Chains A and B, each alone.
Chain A
Amino acid sequence: MKTPSPLHFKTYSSILLIVIFGPLGNLLLGKGMKGRGDIAAWTPAELARFVTFVLRSEIIWLGIGSLMVFFVAYTLVLSWADYSYVQPASAFAYATAALLGHFVLGEMVSAVQWAGIMVICLGVFIVGRTPPRTTERT
């Protein structure tokens, strides 16, 4: 069996972080904001209450932490891999989001969504078969 090169290994590891922590961060933020309700009035007092709610929510902090991991991984991988490789490969995050929604939140995933997930997986598989880097780097 062919061993993946260091370039492939760190590219796949970063994309794995992107497709896990991006949707996880969004899910945690969504879960944290659920039940808060709309901002009733755009007054300073109401905004202050909103900010206090956000800052005191552990789940929102976890969400922010996840999105920071996502952003750092996305930025770092672009330092060595092609954008035209990373961007479509990261679309696998849509599949992660649907799977998290289905298995963690018990949301219904429609047949059209499952079909979309399969097509994304196929697209990512095809992109993954091309070299991650096609240009010279510093």
Chain B
Amino acid sequence: MLTELVFFLLVTIAGTAGELCMARAMRGVGEVTNFRPQALIGVVWRALSVVWTWVGLGLMTLAFFALLAVLAVENVSFVVPVTALSYAVGALGGRVFLHERVTPTRWAGVLLVCVGVTLVLLGKRWG
């Protein structure tokens, strides 16, 4: 039970934390204004030289393997609603880690997305 809980936390928190780290890395790279292929390659190259990118990729890899592990022992119908929580964790992380202003309106939208994603994935399972 404790092992499963750890895996659930890894899926939700490590996955979202990984994306938050990527967002932090891209802030360091700066706003992209030139969309020519050569300029975009330069952006990717600069992103790869930022530590946050590698931390993010590492955390997302960890979350992926944790998801595989948890799917081996639990039903998808149980795992999926838990993973939809990542949208709420994402909004919270954006506020705390990236200092974004998450207004009540944005929170309302995020919570609706959580519910909608759960319904779509459960509907697929039940359909």
Q: Tell me the nearest residue of chain B to A13, going by C-beta.
A: B35
Q: Residue A78 contacts which of B22, B87, B116, B120 (CB distance < 8 angstroms)?
A: B22
CA distance A124 to B113 in the complex (A): 7
User: Contact between B116 and A117 (Cβ–Cβ < 8 Å)?
Assistant: yes
Q: Which of A25-33, A37-45, A54-62, A105-113 lies at the interface? A: A105-113
Q: Tell me the nearest residue of chain B to A137, going by C-beta.
A: B31
Q: Residue B103 contacts which of A86, A109, A130 (CB distance < 8 angstroms)?
A: A130
Interface size of A by Cβ–Cβ distance < 8 Å? 44
A80 interfacial by beta-carbon distance below 8 Å:
yes
Looking at the assembled complex, report how far the CB atom of A24 sits from the nearest CB atom of chain B, in whole angstroms: 17
User: Contact between B20 and A83 (Cβ–Cβ < 8 Å)?
Assistant: yes
CA distance A84 to B27 in the complex (A): 14
A96-134 to B contact mask, C-beta < 8 Å, 1/0: 001000000000111111111111111111111110001
Q: Which residues of A contact B112 (CB under 8 A)?
A: 119-120, 122-123, 126
Number of A-B pairs whose CB atoms are under 8 Å?
A: 157
User: Contact between A83 and B19 (Cβ–Cβ < 8 Å)?
Assistant: yes
Looking at the assembled complex, report how far the CB atom of A39 sits from the nearest CB atom of chain B, in whole angstroms: 15
Report if A127-B100 is in contact (Cβ < 8 Å); known contacts: A110-B126, A112-B126, A138-B31: no
Q: Which residues of A contact B93 (CB under 8 A)?
A: 83-84
Q: Tell me the nearest residue of chain A to B113, going by C-beta.
A: A123
A79 interfacial by beta-carbon distance below 8 Å:
yes
A72-105 to B contact mask, C-beta < 8 Å, 1/0: 1001101110111111100100110010000000
User: Contact between A83 and B116 (Cβ–Cβ < 8 Å)?
Assistant: no
Q: Which residues of B contact A75 (CB under 8 A)?
A: 22, 26, 44, 47
Q: Which residues of A contact B32 (CB under 8 A)?
A: 76, 79-80
Report if A79-B110 is in contact (Cβ < 8 Å); known contacts: A88-B87, A110-B127: no
Q: Residue B124 contacts which of A78, A110, A124, A135 (CB distance < 8 angstroms)?
A: A110
9 CB contacts below 8 A, A to B, read A83-B93, A88-B87, A94-B121, A115-B119, A120-B117, A123-B110, A125-B109, A127-B113, A137-B27
